[in-house]
Structure 1
């Protein structure tokens, strides 16, 4: 806010101080009021920061970006199945998501630092097994060591703890995501056929989610063809919650993607003082290596280890559940 300084009037030569004071008061009050109005208008202008208005969903990937000490590389994925930590989207979000949709905390939506927008993901709370399909349409969260942030409605349905941070599994629904992205202008990509079935069981809705029905049945690639018409790729999500066996585990900080065991061991040497080792990771017919630090039995200790890795100038650490 602009500061308004007091203006001191000096009496005119040869005039009484009373006349001088009255004259200057009549001259200065209008000017002071104008300056005050301008100053207040400047304050209001600085405080109001309207967000971008929603323009409708459009396919978005975006460039690599740096946030909260980490680089993120958005890209397409033939498969995405990861564990880690989730959080809740905080208050104060702008009116629009990164891909142009209207944002609201009552929607079944989520943020991802890397997935194409929009994407559909199957999110599982590993501590209680609750599973829900969400629409990823925003970038975030801007917190190191978090792979997804969800709306408050999604957090309620998934049974997040009061802390808002929970062990999570995020799996991309490749077919539906690709159909949705193609409808919004993305080029076609080959899709691998599913090779495993998923068991689902009925689940009563958690507190605060009355009226949300669970689903039952076996989802299998060999099931009979549905008798109803296929859903539109942009059809609203059902909000149905299913349940799987809970699968919580200790937390690790992982730096992955080394093609040489020597490179991985060299990085491990830079992290002296932190518990961990080098582990092989077979992928697509070849073996990569990762530095795996831990185990850590709490989010706080895993976060502290992650901060130490970042402070030593080592990029791309992730917190995983194993």
Structure 2
């Protein structure tokens, strides 16, 4: 190589290094997050605050978020005892029981997802491994009300809206397309977080296996006639509900032999005009 060419190659080295330089991960900023409605693979999810969540369904594995931060501002780790939920306030503490082997893990929900309405929760790789998940798995999810309320209050849950008062502290904009958030403003007079968000122990407990029958819940209704109409239109049956609050009748499809059949039945239920149907385990 001539001296001229050698000098040209040396001059290109800083440019090549700049092309391969990785962008630094944004600083973690744990905070209370509810957020706006967001679009999944088959419709919209509408986040709402709830502290007594107790649901059965299918769990899946969580994938690393773009940018390294999750919806509530924490840094994501594949080894963390964390997960994602479609609608609950973030963060929230839940116990997840594998209904096939009885294992129970305790995780903190920190992100939005899964986008598939046929799955109710996504677990980090570490939590999924401890739960014994080798594929999408029937689970029972139970929220720890006291722990979730403590996190919400300690991480700056906004007070009730008062239109006469200007907002203090942060204004957060959440993107519907990728779930990313931006924070505008940071008033130093805003109340600081009084809760330290630390890692949960990477452990599991042995409980009892539960029911594993797969069904599609088409809806819960106050009137038998309405439930019967939905069940007839979508190929289901009517069962008495136990949810209370005046909702006494369920339109249900199933049981189904495996997850593939349950997924196909959920797709058919959406096509017959039912919004909000989901897979349950009984």
**TM-score above 0.5:** yes
147-156 vs 59-68, which deviates more? Answer: 59-68
Query: Is 1:120 aligned to residue 83 of structure 2?
Result: no
Q: CA deviation at 1:282?
A: 3.4
Q: Aligned equivalents of 1:246 and 1:233: distance in 2?
A: 34
After superposition, the Cα gap between the structure-2 partners of 1:57 and 1:318, relative to the gap in structure 1 and judged at 3 Å, is same
Q: Aligned equivalents of 2:25 and 2:35: distance in 1?
A: 17
Equivalent position SS for 1:142 = coil
After superposition, the Cα gap between the structure-2 partners of 1:234 and 1:104, relative to the gap in structure 1 and judged at 3 Å, is closer
Q: Aligned equivalents of 2:24 and 2:224: distance in 1?
A: 47
Equivalent position SS for 1:279 = strand
Structure 1 spans left out of the alignment, 5+ residues: 1-40, 190-231
- Report if the CA contact (8 A) 1:121-1:135 is conserved: yes
Query: Is 1:279 aligned to residue 279 of structure 2?
Result: no
- Report if the CA contact (8 A) 1:61-1:74 is conserved: yes
Q: 2:33 aligns with which of 60, 73, 87?
A: 60
Report the counterpart of residue 45 of structure 2 in structure 1.
Answer: 72
Give the number of the structure whose residues are more often strand, by fraction: 2
- Report if the CA contact (8 A) 1:68-1:144 is conserved: yes
Q: CA deviation at 1:50?
A: 6.8
Query: Is 1:256 aligned to residue 219 of structure 2?
Result: yes
What CA deviation, in whole Å up to 9, does each residue of 1:34-69 have, x standing for no partner? xxxxxxx9xx89xx9979834411101112222111
Equivalent position SS for 1:77 = coil
- Report if the CA contact (8 A) 2:218-2:269 is conserved: no
- Aligned residue pairs, count: 232
What CA deviation, in whole Å up to 9, does each residue of 1:150-195 have, x standing for no partner? 111111111112xx21111110011011001100112689xxxxxx
Report the counterpart of residue 103 of structure 1 in structure 2.
Answer: 76
Q: 2:106 aligns with which of 108, 116, 133?
A: 133
Report the counterpart of residue 242 of structure 1 in structure 2.
Answer: 205
308-317 vs 292-301, which deviates more? Answer: 308-317
TM-score by length of 2: 0.75
Equivalent position SS for 1:185 = coil
- Report if the CA contact (8 A) 2:65-2:76 is conserved: no
- Report if the CA contact (8 A) 1:51-1:94 is conserved: no
Runs of 4+ in 1 over 6 A off after TM superposition: 48-52
Report the counterpart of residue 178 of structure 1 in structure 2.
Answer: 149
- Report if the CA contact (8 A) 1:178-1:188 is conserved: no
Q: Aligned equivalents of 2:262 and 2:122: distance in 1?
A: 18
TM-score by length of 1: 0.66
Report the counterpart of residue 257 of structure 2 in structure 1.
Answer: 297
Q: Aligned equivalents of 1:300 and 1:150: distance in 2?
A: 20
Q: Aligned equivalents of 2:123 and 2:266: distance in 1?
A: 22
After superposition, the Cα gap between the structure-2 partners of 1:182 and 1:244, relative to the gap in structure 1 and judged at 3 Å, is same
Q: Aligned equivalents of 2:91 and 2:64: distance in 1?
A: 21
Higher relative contact order (CA 8 A, sep 6+): 2
Q: CA deviation at 1:305?
A: 0.4
Q: CA deviation at 1:93?
A: 4.1
Give me the CA root mean square deviation: 2.6
Query: Is 1:165 aligned to residue 125 of structure 2?
Result: no
